[in-house]
Amino acid sequence: MPESKLQNAFDMISIQEEAIRLLDANARRGKDYYYTAPSRQKYPHQWSWDSSFHAIVNCHLGRPDLAKEEILTLLYKMSPEGVLPHIVFHGHSLRMLGNRLLRSYWPQSDRSPLVQPPVAALAVREIWEQTEDIGFLNEALPLLNRHFAWLGARRCFGGSPLVSIISPWECGLDHKPGFDEVLGRAVKFPLGRYIALYTAEIRLALRRYDPDQIAQRGYFNVREVIFNTIYALGLEALGVMFDVIGDRMKAESFRTRNREVENAILQECYGAATSLYYDVDVNTGVLISEPSVSSLMPLALANVPESRLETLIMHLTDTSEFWLQFPVPSVPQNSKFFEPQDQRYLWRGPTWINTNWFLANGLRRHGYDELADSISQASRNLVEQFGFWEYYNPLSGEGGGERDFSWSTLAAIM
């Protein structure tokens, strides 16, 4: 083996060992739960897409039993109608009690009535592919089926197969610049984006988080690109897994929905002027034409046309946009919102490992292995040089947010 490849192999072993140590340090176990907290201090609870990423990493690192426990802990907190909560509180620490008091308007004080991108379906598929455990599939699939049925029935408006988010928190990209115009004038004041977010959630609570009432009153209602891309990938995964357990009818139903959602993303979210993809404001039907890393996410879809794929890659590799020293920033460098050192608001410039993971996987899916390897190597370099941070400055590599942040262990499997 050439010396450079040997060194890379040693580096991978080292980063994987560090990833395992971090996941174990952030793990929480109780009588009826197991999960990995995003961080030990600021984020000690269970988050939906964070937990799914942690399960995927554990599975890749040879610990599928922990991955199964984490995903089943999450899925069993689903509401009877199919809401998979974006935050779950376990245990009775003072920190958790304080959060429960602040969230006294939630229908169930131990879990959020909001959702997050359904990465759980991808985690379950990963576990199946690593273990071929039919018993686990038979336990997890009915719960995933319930959640995806709820998304399709309760979060689709105006005849589109795309699902809506009713709060920026639901897509995970909390302060993405494109949300500013939808949240209203409050965002212009000091810390106004936080004021707007909490005010918006109070309005949701007054309507008991009912999607129909929220739509009727013209509240925040957005078909967000990264959420719908992950939704499409989840539908695709469910089609595969229901085939595995022999439910051909259900499998075909999910494959059909996957094609419908993919086509809708490619048609409804496409900005012809820039060849990027944008969120849709459901209340106005207008594209929110503010570029971000979400705009590149359809790279991960199976059926993106080759010409569209090539244009997305041109944007990705443009050094004035996304191809910086440590790619891929959450907004392009030529955006007026590019503020990678400002830690007041999230997703306005820094590079995040979880979106890098999606982009690298999408590129490999379409045969762009060399470019995927560049993103993967850049992600590993960030972790090796600076540690597992919540996010990173795409110009300097400096970590920001919370240190020892669990989903950045994705770099160890890229």
The per-residue pLDDT for range 147-167, each reduced to its tens digit, is: 999 999 999 999 999 999 999
Would the pTM of this model clear 0.75, i.e. be above it? yes
Please give the share of the chain, as a percent, with pLDDT higher than 90. Answer: 86
3-state secondary structure the chain: CCHHHHHHHHHHHHHHHHHHHHHHHCEEEECCEEEECCCCCCCCCEEHHHHHHHHHHHHHCCCHHHHHHHHHHHHCCCCCCCCCCCEECCCCCHHHHHHHHHCCCCCECCECCCCCCCCHHHHHHHHHHHHCCHHHHHHHHHHHHHHHHHHHHHCCCCCCCCCCECCHHHCCCCCCHHHHHHHCHHHHCCCHHHHHHHHHHHHHHHCCCCHHHHHHCCCCCEECHHHHHHHHHHHHHHHHHHHHCCCHHHHHHHHHHHHHHHHHHHHHCEECCCCEECEEECCCCEEECCCCHHHHHHHHCCCCCHHHHHHHHHHHCCCCCCCCCCCCECCCCCCCCCCCCCCCCCCCCCECHHHHHHHHHHHHHCCCHHHHHHHHHHHHHHHHHHCCEEEECCCCCCEEEEECCHHHHHHHHC
* pLDDT at position 175 over 80: yes
pLDDT band, residue 136 (cuts 50/70/90): very high
pLDDT band, residue 94 (cuts 50/70/90): very low
Please give the share of the chain, as a percent, with pLDDT higher than 70. Answer: 94
pLDDT band, residue 231 (cuts 50/70/90): very high
Average pLDDT over residues 373-390: 97
